[in-house]
Each structure stands twice: as structure tokens, then as C-alpha cells.
Chains A and B, each alone.
Chain A
Amino acid sequence: MEKGKGIMGSGRRWAVDFSDNSTAPSSRDIPDPPGFTRASVDQDDSTVSRQKKDAESNWKAQKAWEVAQAPFKNLLMMGFMMWMAGNTVHLFSIGITFSALWQPISALQGVGKVFEPYKDNKVDLLGPKLLFIALNLGGLALGVWKLNTLGLLPTHASDWVSSLPPAQEVEYSGGGIPL
């Protein structure tokens, strides 16, 4: 999750654009290295732009899949943490469990935002999105499972009757040893 953010979006500080297609050396402040001719790149204009677009959409699709798979590593790490935390209720295990529940939920809330930069007509984002959602749901399930192993889910009859007041009795009787 954190990683995905680092690669993408507004957080980007610099980038190398390998598909640089400017022909005029003057547009760059650094002169071309000797022996390098820009002309060789100058091919058919239309093919160039198509290729460029293809490359970009490919790249976007690839990135989208990468982002979609990112929660998997998270999942593994969470599982390890949970295993470490043990099955008794204390501060550490509760903290882990709640973060395991909270992360997928907040990630699911921001599904649209995460895939915003890869939005493209040609890129099919449905697959990555579904994977992303599925992985996060998996994380959520893991959290719920942990919650259950900690005994914090009301799945037993005892959880529902433990605060039931005693039933009223219809009859009333008093007395004792005569004074």
C-alpha cells in the first residue's frame, strides 16, 4: 500500500521518460552525445505515436496489475504478525487485529483513487481492481478470523445471554421464624 503510493500519483518527484521523442536538440539543455543521431528515431510519425501510446497503455496496465497485487505482500506480513501475536487478548494482539481490519477497509474505500492514474480508454482496469478488492477482502477475512480466534466475535449463545436479566417471578412469598 505504502509502496504503491510511493511509485504513483502526486508523490512523484522525478521521472525518466524513455519514450522522449523530441527531435530538436535545442529543446534539451544537454547536447546529444557524439555519434547519436536523432534522425534514426525519426520514422513514420503515425507509427511513432501509436507505438508511444501502446507503450504507455502497456505500462499503465502493467503498473495497475502491480498495484493490484501489492496487498498480497501485506497479507503475508499480517499473517506473520498475527501468528506472532498469539491467541490471547492483550494490547499487542488487539492492536494487530484492528490494524489488520482497518487497512483493508481503508484500502477498499480508496479503490478508485488508487487506480486513478492508470485510467485509460485502452487499459482494462477491471481485472486489477477485482484482484485488488479480492486481496483486500482476503485481508479483511484474515482480520475477522483473528478476531474470532481471540474470541471477540459474538458467535456463541453465551455472547447474547450474558447480560440477560433474571426472569421475573409471578409469585411472591415471604416469612421466616416468627418473631
Chain B
Amino acid sequence: MAIGSFLILFILFFFSSLNPILSLYEDQVGLVDWHQQYLGKVKQAVFHTHKTGRKRVVVSTEENVVALLDLRQGEIFWRHVLGSNDVIDGIDIALGKYVITLSSGGSILRAWNLPDGQMVWESSLRGPKHSKSLLLVPTNLKIEKDNIVIIFSNGRLNAVSCIDGEVLWEKDFEGESLEVQQVIQPPGSNLIYVVGFASSSLFEMYQINALNGELLKHESAAFSGGFLGEVSPVFSETVVALDSTGLILLTVSFQNGMISFQQTPISNLVKDSFGPAKIIPSSVTGIFAIKMNAVTIVIRVTDENKLEVVEKTNHETSISDALPISEGQQAFALVQRAGPEIHLRVKLAHNWDDNLLKESVKMDQHRGLVHKIYINNYIRADKSYGFRALIVMEDHSLLLLQQGEIVWSREDGLASIIDVTTSELPVERDGVSVAKVEHNLFEWLKGHMLKLKGTLMLASPQDIAAIQSMRLKNSEKSKMTRDHNGFRKLLIVLTRAGKLFALHTGDGHIVWSYLLQSLQKSKVCQHPIGLNLYKWQVPHHHAMDENPSVLVIGKCGPSSDAPGALSFVDTYTGKELSSLSLVHSVALVIPLPYTDSTEQRLHLLIDADKHAHLYPKTPEAISIFEREFSNIYWYSVEDDNGIIKGHALRGKCTGEVADEVCFDTRELWSIVFPSESEKIIATVTRKLNEVVHTQAKVIADQEVMYKYISRNLLFVATVALKGSGEIGSVTPEESWLVAYLIDTVTGRILHRVTHHGSQGPVHAVFSENWVVYHYFNLKAHRYEMSVIEIYDQSRADNKDVWKLVLGKHNLTSPISLYSRPDVITKSQSYFFTHSVKTIAVTSTTKGITSKQLLIGTIGDQVLALEKRFLDPRRTVNPTQAEKEEGIIPLTDSLPIIPQSYVTHALRVEGLRGIITVPAKLESTTLVFAHGVDLFFTQLAPSRTYDSLTDDFNYALLLITIVALMAAIFLTWTLSERKELQENWR
């Protein structure tokens, strides 16, 4: 017995002596976290394939990323994310060693060193007025041995030296209404043509000497029909345009300074008209395409400026840019989607009838149509030309095709995630073993021997490396079934392309992907937008046999009254269960806290006319809804007018939209902010699914404070209208920030606080009974973070222990928000070093574990900051009791501990959102950060107190147990012997 208690004591000491660690050890990187790098939808690609060296391609994307990719595997050599306010207008390669980018509306020109991505120079270009931005890198144009880059931007033509970015000459085009459409540089000449429209019916042509910017000729000619849209250059001195009706094609030739128009009605070219046409510009000599509704027509221009239709197709067609392959010859590619295949044709520009290459490639249906194609050639062993094509699909993925095969593909749609939700994995059942079994017994034994060696510290460096790779590739973590701790889940993400992906939390692989038909361009819906994802059905308890599903909400077009579209997708299989195109619009989606018998959550959709529509449209749902009818409210924040309105439901819809599931609403209250002094810049509420463990907060000396926990609290931040601009645009006296806490059922303002001399942007997070927000303090020239905690004073007199023991209190009985609340708030502000992109808070399954704030910093990292640093009860000199409670002495700024970066050494480029999901293990929360990159990890804000950590010293425990067993045996034999001797005496 003595030995037993000694063992227990020993183990207790052993645990208490374990050093708590804040951060990761080096060998733990990648064990539970993963990081994926993406680019976004490619909008321009330039190949760099010299005979020597590696084959590479430079791309620029809609996420404003410029990157160099390996053509063999599609890996990223280097990448720069320019940010959302630095939109890339054009890229090219100059001198074979510089990547030139033009960005920010043509005002910033940069050169990057091609092999390593270092910036070589940057120059900023100004101009008289806003215009199209065009970048041109002529191959054989030199000014005093200097290769030049020609840029047209902001109404000014610039020639910039390739070597140092110096502007060699500039020429303004200040004509009031001149809209420059194209800048053409005929190869082999020192001339530049600038063509454009003026006053909508005047065609202007400027001929400029490329060496000094001198204006050689200026011609203009009027065309009574006017012009529409873009022009497409077909020859070096001929362009094609459309008249203002979109029915007549104009061939404009400006040879020798003489402008001549040639009109060809489209009806002459094709028999049946399909409405107004649109030119798809291409750089191929003598070829251009027009699009009329869904019909694409490829037209050839003959030497005599005659137009000839060479192809008319119903398929969506993409045409590549021209690729010069040999002296005077140009190749280009056309690609179309037909069923499960895509057809790729490569032709010579002057010879339409023959194909250089014709291939059909099998393509996943869920990649959609081909949006863009870029081609590049190589010389095969038999001296003939081979072609490789880089294609951008409708789902924003990037693929390389070569010899009829997909060489590699990148899921770059994941760079633009709109919304994220999670789903559980299937429960593991007998016979449904999805896990891979170890290959054979020998492998298994070897693995375990290695592990044993590792734990007993006998492993050699090679063994350690092998153990580490085994740990990283652990098949356990990417299993397709639910685990005991709830670490394995599916992350369901909706991308801007309208595609749903399911990512496995174990290693981030794509489990399934589905291109939503309801979010694809169609005849009824020209500009569909995906909006949100909601958990539609989360089966547990009695509906275990059903698969969970998510609800995807989208709408047609950006206007507020555009009709909505719903899709229901099964999260196990990735199949669409059903889809609805709605007759009404979707202004607000309110998930209700009620579910029906199949665990489908009731959702209320509010349309632009303030009618409420209930989904699912089942009688059962309606009966549940009608039971709770009088307790359901909704509010809308009109941030343009500065009004917050609260509404209640009134009854079934009347009028033409009569429907079983349609309900009228009436306005209950409104809060109007004075428009000159307050403008709404941020609103935040609690997460609907947040679990709060307790309503009481025990403070020093056993006192209790009751938290005011309400799901119906809204935090609103307003700033002075003058102060709504950029930081520093106003003086501190003119700017203030007001924070409100508003009850959204009654419209009562529970708390209001003004921060004088402060300015937005405000980032806030609301959890339990507190809200934390981040803003800029103009007086102190620093960022600040404030915390407001709200407590219920009306419960504070529940002090009789006997009543509490016997349960005779009303602390847990349902409360109505119409009863008069008696709240007090506590708040405090601190300086914070970083500017912030987003703030989130950790959430755990029972809400017991202490919270951490997850701050997305401007450096695209995620910083974990303990909530107790933002405790309004902090004082400069806390008492002994307060210290025991864990209150930190007050400091003026919040500490940033380098080890508490959740993303450790990685960056989540273009960080947009952080999502936290509770695991089943109370101590642990799953964190997913997305932007251009994706990052996932597990966090334990109060350490893993409910399980042994990964770095637990099993060896020591094992040795201790063995030693103790040996000691017990030894003492037992000794005592036996002694007793025997005693008896013999």
C-alpha cells in the first residue's frame, strides 16, 4: 500500500513538473497543421521557355498575385501577392530576365528578377486622366542600346527603360473625350500607332516615333454609326470594330495615314441573327471572333479587308494569343468544351483549314468550361513543333495539357473562398473500413520498432528522420471516418467560381468538389453570385441514417432584387440533392434555432420587399414555425442610410405572392443615426452555434457576477462621416468612434461609449458577454483594442446559499427580453501594435476552456492572444486575491509574444477570414484561416488538459513503472527471506 501511494505521488509530481509550452517544437510542424498555397484565377500567362534552363511560366491572377510556376509540375518558384488595392493590369517578360508588371490602374510599373522574384526596380507613372492601361514589350525596339517598355496608362504614353525603369519619353493624349483602345507596334518598325474613339463617333489614329515620342501623324475620321466596345487588331495597320448597334462590323484601315472604313453587316456573314454581337479581342493576325449570345463566330480577314466566317459554333470557345513559331508564322489555339471532353486545336494564322494539332482531352465535368488558353511550343525530337497549352477553367483551376494529357492541375479556385462551414465525417461501422491497412506485418513491425527506438532515445539521425516522416504521413489523420476526439472533419468551402470543395481537416486533401449548376452562367441568370453556406441538416440522435447536407445560397446579379437560388448538397457524397431557383430575392438569411424531425434546420429568407419565406417548405416546418411565430423577430442594418430597423412577423402573405410559407412582416422599432455625425462601419453578433458553459463569473473573494448572455445582442460601431476615410485624413478633433450594444428584439440600446479622436476601420468579435474591437487612435497615433463586458445586475442578489442548494432560484428559467434589463458594463482599452485584417475567437464544444482571440495581422499571420489580457478588471496593482484569480497587472499595451503566432513561420497570403470549429475534445479547437493560401491547425487555448500531449515522455513513465515493479518484487523476496529466518530462530 505504501508503494502504491508512492507511485501515485510520483506520477502526480511527474505531471506537475511537465513544462507547459506555448508554441510548437520544430518537429511538431506539419503534424496537425497544414498549409496550401494558391494563386487565384489566372488572367494572364507568359511562358519563359528558353532552350536552356528550366521551363517556366509567369502568371498574374485576379487575386493580384504574380507568380512564376514550374512547367513540369506546376509548383510555385516564387510568388508576390500585391494586395487588393494594387490590381494587376498586365504582365510580360522583358530581356528574358525581367518580369514586368503594370498595376494600380497603370500607375505602378515594376520589374522583378525572373529566376528569384527579387524586385529590380519600380517606377510610378502619372497621367492627366483615367484611362485603359496597356503594357507593350516590343522585342526589337531599342533606344541607345536600351530595350524599352511601352505603357499607355492614365491618358499618357510612356517609354520606360528596361534596365532601370527610367521614363525615357512621355506623350499626353489629352483630347477631352478620347478613349484610347489599342496601342499597336508593328514589329520591325520604329512606329507606334495609338488608336481610339473620340466623342463616340470619331475614330482617331496617332502615329508616333517610338524612339523619341514625337507625334508623326494624327488623323481622325468620323463614322456616323458610332462605335461599341473594344477593337481587335487584325493587321498591323487594320483594326476591327463594331458599330453602336452591334450589328455591323467595321474594318478600319489606317495604312499610310489614310483612314478608311469598310462596313460588313453581320447578317451578311451569318444567315440568322442572334442579336447584338461582342468582339472577343485576339492578337492573331487576320483572325478575330465575335460572340452573339451563346454563339461564337470566328472570322478571317482577307488581304483585301474582306470578312469570311470560318467557324460558327454553339460551344463556348476560347482563343489563345498568337504565338510566333518561325519567320513570319503565327500559331494560335482554339479550345472548346464538348461533354466530358475538351477539344484543342492549334492552327497557323494564315492557314485556317489545316490543324497543326488536334487533341481531345478528357476533363472532369466539375471543372466547367474553358475560360482561357495560353499556348507555347517546343521542338520535338523529329524537329516538328509540339504544343503545350495552359488552360484556365470555369472553376478557376489551372491545367497544363501536353500530348493529349493533363500534365498537372492546380485548384486555384481555393484562393477565393467566400464562405466556409464544416461537416462531420461518417461514423466508422463494421465492414465499412475506409482506412488503409499497413502493407504487411513486416512493415508494421518495422514501424513499431522504430517508434520504440525513438521513445527509448536509441534512434540514429536517419531513424529520427524516418520516424518524423512516418508521423507526418500518419494514415490515421486522413481517414475518412469520424474519430473519437473530433479532430477529423470536412471543411466545406464555397469559392467565388461557384464551386464547393470538401477539404479533409487531417491533411487538407480535397475529398470531393462540385460545380454548382445554380451558380453557373445561364440564360436566365447572367451573373450569378454565390453568397453563403449554411448547415442545412446535421443528423444526430434519431436521424443518424441521413447524410448531413449544406445549403448554398446564391443570387442572380448584384442588384438587391435579383432572384435567389438555393442548392442543397450532401456533404458525404458531394452530390446535389436538389436546387431551387427562387421567385423572390434574398436580402437576409436567418437560420432559426429550430429543427424538424429529420434534423433539418429551419431557415427564414427575407426578400427585398420585407417578406419572410420559410424553408424547408414542409407542413411540419410550418407547424413548428407557427408555434414559435410570435417569438421570432428580425432586424436589418441599412448602413447606407444609417438606420437599424427591427421587425416582427405579422401573418401569411397577402396579395400576389400568396404562398403557404410566405409571411408578412411589420416594423417594430428603428434606430436612426444622425447622418453627419455617425456612419455605421461595423456590426457584429455572437455566433449562433456558440456554446456558453455558465452564466456566472466567479471573481476574487468568492463573489459572483452574472454575465448578460443573449443571442440577440448586436455590436455596432459608427464613426463621424469625416472620419470614415483613410487613417490620418482627419484631425483627432473631427473624428470619433461610437460603440453601441443593441438588443435586436426590443431595439433597446444597452450600452453606448464614445472614443474621441478615434477612427476606423473597426474589426470586432463578439462572444459570450464580451465584445473586443480594434480601431485607430488618432491622438496617440496607435492602434487600440477595447473590450466591453456586460453583466446582468438584476441577478446579482441571488446570494442565499440555501436557496441555491435547494434549487429554489429562477436563474435558469426562460427569460423574456421585454423584461427590464439591469445591466452594467465594464470596459478597458489597450494599445496594440499591429493593424488587423480580421479577428476571431476560439470556440470549444462545451465552452469551458478559456478563450483566445485569433488576430489576423497585416503580415498575413494569425496571432493568438489570450482573452485574459483583455479583461476590464485588470488594475495596475491587483490584490492578492485578484492575482490568485489570474488577473494580470494592467499595462498600456497588449503584449505580442512571438511564440504565440498560430501560423508559426508560415504566412496565409491575402488573409481574409479565420474560422474556429470545436473538436469533440473540450480542450481543443480547430482553426482554419483562408485567403489566397489556406492554413489549418488545432489549438488548445488552456493546453491539452484532457489528453496526454504528443510530447509526453512515455519512456520515462515506462522506465518508472518497470523500476517500481522490480523494487516491489525485490522487497517482497527480501521480506519473505527475512521472515523465514525469523521463524527459524
Contacts and interface: CB of A to CB of B under 8 A. Distances in A.
Interface of A: 91, 151, 154-179
Nearest to B604: A174
B744 A168 contact: no
Given A161-B811, A165-B695, A177 B637 contact: yes
B706 to A, nearest CB: 8
Interface string B525-550: 00000011000000000000000000
B801 A172 contact: no
A172 B812 contact: no
A173 B591 CA distance: 10
A158 B635 CA distance: 36
Contacts of A170: 631, 814-817
A167 B696 CA distance: 11
Given A174-B592, A176-B683, A167 B587 contact: no
Closest 9 CB pairs of A and B: A174-B590, A160-B804, A156-B702, A173-B633, A175-B635, A178-B587, A166-B709, A168-B814, A161-B696
B901 to A, nearest CB: 31
B814 A169 contact: yes
B707 interface: yes
Nearest to A155: B801
A172 B591 CA distance: 11
A141 B604 CA distance: 61
Given A168-B815, A172-B745, 13 more contacts: A91-B16, A151-B702, A160-B804, A163-B694, A164-B811, A165-B693, A169-B712, A169-B814, A173-B635, A175-B588, A175-B606, A177-B683, A178-B560
B326 to A, nearest CB: 54
Contact of B634 (A154, A155, A166, A175): A175
Nearest to B705: A158
Contacts of A173: 632-635, 646, 711-712, 744-745
A56 to B, nearest CB: 33
Counting chain B residues whose Cβ lies within 8 A of the other chain, the interface size class is 35 or more
21 contacts: A158-B703, A161-B696, A164-B695, A165-B692, A166-B695, A168-B812, A169-B815, A170-B631, A170-B817, A171-B712, A172-B592, A172-B631, A172-B711, A175-B588, A175-B635, A176-B636, A177-B637, A177-B639, A178-B560, A178-B587, A179-B555
Interface of B: 9, 12-13, 16, 531-532, 555, 560, 586-593, 604, 606, 608, 628, 631-639, 646, 683, 685, 688, 692-696, 698, 702-704, 706-707, 709-712, 744-745, 798-801, 804-805, 811-818
A175 B586 contact: no
Nearest to B884: A88
A161 B804 contact: yes
A94 to B, nearest CB: 10
Contact of A157 (B588, B633, B692, B804): B804
Contact of A179 (B588, B632, B696, B703): B588
A156 B695 contact: no
B815 A158 contact: no
A158 B702 contact: yes
A164 B811 CA distance: 8
Contacts of A175: 588, 590, 606, 634-637, 744
B606 to A, nearest CB: 7
B817 A179 contact: no
Given A158-B704, A164-B694, A176 B588 contact: yes
A171 B636 contact: no
Nearest to A91: B12
B532 to A, nearest CB: 7
Contacts of A157: 702, 704, 798-801, 804
A176 B685 contact: yes
Contacts of B694: 161-166
A166 B768 CA distance: 10
Contacts of A165: 692-695, 812
Nearest to B804: A160
A171 B635 CA distance: 13
A82 B46 CA distance: 80
A91 B592 CA distance: 49
Given A157-B800, A163-B694, A171 B702 contact: no
B593 A164 contact: no
Given A151-B702, A169-B815, A172-B712, A160 B805 contact: yes
Nearest to A151: B702
A167 B814 CA distance: 6
Contacts of A159: 702, 801
A157 to B, nearest CB: 5
Contacts of A174: 588, 590-592, 604, 634-635, 688
Contacts of A161: 694-696, 704, 706, 798, 804, 811
B442 to A, nearest CB: 47
Contacts of B815: 167-170
A158 B698 contact: yes
A172 B709 contact: no
Contacts of B711: 169, 172-173
Contact of A166 (B589, B631, B637, B692): B692
A169 B709 CA distance: 9
Contacts of B805: 160
A172 B711 CA distance: 8
B959 to A, nearest CB: 23
A171 B631 CA distance: 5
A174 B685 CA distance: 9
B532 A179 contact: yes
A30 to B, nearest CB: 23
User: Which of A156, A173, A174 has the most C-beta atoms of chain B within 10 angstroms of its own C-beta?
Assistant: A173
A163 B815 CA distance: 18
Given A157-B799, A173-B745, A167 B812 contact: yes
Nearest to A170: B816
A176 B698 CA distance: 33
B793 to A, nearest CB: 15
A94 B688 CA distance: 42
B801 A156 contact: yes
